[in-house]
Amino acid sequence: MKRITALIGGAALAFTAVAPIGVAADDPPAPADSGSKSVALSPTGSYIVVMVADPLVVTIDADDLDTPAADAQGDVLEASHTQVLNEESISTGTKLQDYTNALNGFSAVLDHDDAVRLASNPKVAMVLPDEMRYIAGADDDDGTEPDDLGNYLGLTARGEAWSSGLTGEGVVVGVIDTGIWPEHPSFADDGSYPAHAPLETTLAGGSPCNFGNTAANSADAPFVCNNKLIGARQMLQTYRFFVGADADEFDSARDDDGHGTHTASTAAGNANVQAAIGGRNVGVISGVAPRAQVIAYKALGNLGGFTSDLAGAIDQAVEDGVDVINYSVGGGANLLGGDAISFLFAADAGVYASVSAGNAGPGPSTIGGPADTPWVTAVGANAMERFFQGEVRLDRGPTLRGSSITAGTARLSLVDAAAAGTSDLCLAGTLDPAKVAGKIVLCRRGGNGRAAKSFEVFSAGGAGMVLYNNTNTDNLFTDNHWVPSVHLAFTDGVKVKNYIAATANPRARIADTARVTEWKPAPSMTIFSSRGPNPTSADIIKPDITGPGLQILAGNTPYPDPDSTPTGELFQAIAGTSMSAPVVAGVYALIKQAHPDWSAAMAKSAIMTTANTDVRDNDRVSQAGPFAMGSGEVNPGRVNARNSVFNPGLVYDAGLLDYFGFLCGAAPGALPTGLCAFVVTNGFATDASDLNYPSISVAELAGSQTVTRTVTSVATSRVKFKAKVQA
């Protein structure tokens, strides 16, 4: 039976009126709003039409979405989409894709006037502009150490998750991203994984194991999914309609960026995989939930992704039965984006969403969407203790330490890009090959990507690169560069620059690269991690949590986009809130294995209320505040210990009607007045401060205000709790 909502008179309408089990409406359900409605102009020419009638997850248990009965109801919903187009005399050929599971609606290429006309149809709840989203990766020892991420998170020791049997066994992780490299050792099936029922070929999702379709690129080899990688779909209908595909781009679920392979292997990659970069072992990696199974959804192309495609991927993931979705994707904050609304109903189906907070920090109110919504977990990024170091050894000068994952160099001549071309930024086409051939080049950050700078050095015949920041508070990155490289802080970069200017024959050596050292203090926030206050609802603190997101060693595609990073590398150590979100997705998979009956909101509460609050800001000195770290750094803890994510004592639960109430207050006029009247009449809060959330915020306090929370005990024994407010 459905957990949360019950039908009223056999026909509950998610955007007109719904009642929870045991609660009767005081008045008959109000009809949907009618009359002219405003619709924002779509920047893409595509719109997402959300219908009044329920998506399937409201009336059908998520486990039953692949049954013939659900298929039949889905066909009825799809027919209603065509009908509403016919009613408004709009060609059905404008429709690109249908949604029926986590969202009831469709996407279509429409004139704005047609979109407005559709919005006024009584069967339509809202018409949303199709937006663009992007990956949230920050732009930009002997190498056999055991897994550093697992050690750092406290998963490996006696009494901790992995040694206690919590490894994600039986949990399915969905990854919506740039695709996946299926032959990667992180997704190899060693025969020990439980068999999973085959996924269905669907109209929206196409083949459930979509590889080998790219005639122009032989690297897109056929692949048969297994019991580790149980599915991989390409979900790029709108993207292909508007953008198409580059000649060498994989027209399948295969990853030609590396981002999707990295996030999937971080969340749920196999345990104890030896990682090598540039032919050298650089560590042993494991996903946070190494025994979880994976389904990949390629919904981002080379230029980003459309929310209509991303909503389709969420819709398909719910039908495929995923337990958690990692969404290292973001864009403009918008409570009513197509992906945001899809995640709302996915949460009602029990699907947890771990979402990148964004990489627009450290300025205030830089949280992106859909991370701004309360039904997803917004994850910031912090540095952890493990640090890949490299050195620049100046002849008859100091040795300067920075970050590096590349090989080193011999003792070579050193040249400043400012004197070897037209820009010290090493922009494309600016270096003079006659001045840099065979030399190490000093390049300054800015203007183009970090790896793009090393490609310019490589293209001009250079043999190495010293990259330096523009400030001392910026982070140091470990990209897969085209030439041996070290990344320095601003002060050290200026030292190199001054050394070159003052030395007749400057020479240097890049050495001791990929050496594992400690970053102190850790955890400390990265400078790029997006900050609050929440731009769309300041009464909801964002980010919710932070996790390791700097120099995260995980998977890669060996065939990335041309000129982006070198080919042939199966591993990379990169940064971004894209890298921290799958850490939290993996932790959720461990919780799901331990507590399969917990709602997504209960698990989110456990993660937030047990977090480590001893986090430094990006200056590595001051305490990070809630708008930087949220509730703190994710901290799984010992399985049977009090105040671990597995045993939090009390949790704050919330459901679909709670979130409807939130939207009625935070986005006035967005939902039908009948629905908002219903939630108010039946006691659901519309003040965001009163949403049953694991953090409390009152953005504009005049005098005093009472804030209400309801807690649920999940303790395994009798426990006495004491309320305490510390301000």
Contact yes or no for 502/588 (Cβ under 8 A): no
3 state DSSP class of 523:
coil
Those residues with Cβ within 8 angstroms of residue 487's Cβ, 6 or more apart along the chain or in another chain? 390, 402, 403, 404, 450, 467, 468, 469, 476, 477, 478
Give me the sheet containing 132-135, strands edge to edge.
305-306, 132-135, 329-330
Q: Which two tokens stand for residue 156?
A: 């490996």
Cβ neighbour number for residue 426 with a 10 Å cutoff = 31
Amino acid (one-letter) located at 541: I
Cis peptide before 596 (omega within 30 of 0): no
Those residues with Cβ within 8 angstroms of residue 434's Cβ, 6 or more apart along the chain or in another chain? none
Those residues with Cβ within 8 angstroms of residue 164's Cβ, 6 or more apart along the chain or in another chain? 639, 640
Closest CA to 528 of 574, 563, 583: 574
Q: Which two tokens stand for residue 359?
A: 């990489």
Instruction: Give me the residue label for tokens 């909502």.
Output: 5
Q: What are the CB-based long-range contacts (under 8 Å, 24+) for 665-668?
A: 666/335, 666/536, 666/537, 666/539, 667/335, 667/336
Instruction: Give me the residue label for tokens 């990024």.
Output: 381
Amino acid (one-letter) located at 611: A
* 248 is an active site residue: no
CA angle 133, 318, 138 (to 5 degrees): 30
CA angle 39, 41, 47 (to 5 degrees): 75
3 state DSSP class of 281:
strand
Phi, psi torsion values for 700, nearest 5 degrees: -125, 95
3 state DSSP class of 650:
strand
Phi, psi torsion values for 179, nearest 5 degrees: 105, -165
3-state secondary structure 365-376: CCCCECCCCCCC
Beta strands in 566-626 (DSSP E): 571-574
* 177 is an active site residue: yes
Cβ neighbour number for residue 642 with a 10 Å cutoff = 13
Which of the residues 107, 186, 207, 578 is marked catalytic? 578
* 192 is an active site residue: no
Instruction: Give the containing element (helix H, strand E) for 310.
Output: helix 307-320
What gap in Å lies between CA 125 and CA 115, rounded to an integer? 12
Distance of CA 86 to CAs 50, 74, 154, 342, 718, Å? 16, 19, 57, 25, 61
Which of the residues 184, 259, 262, 487 is marked catalytic? 259
Q: Which two tokens stand for residue 438?
A: 């065979």
What gap in Å lies between CA 225 and CA 337, rounded to an integer? 32
Which of the residues 130, 147, 177, 315 is marked catalytic? 177
Active-site residue numbers? 177, 259, 578
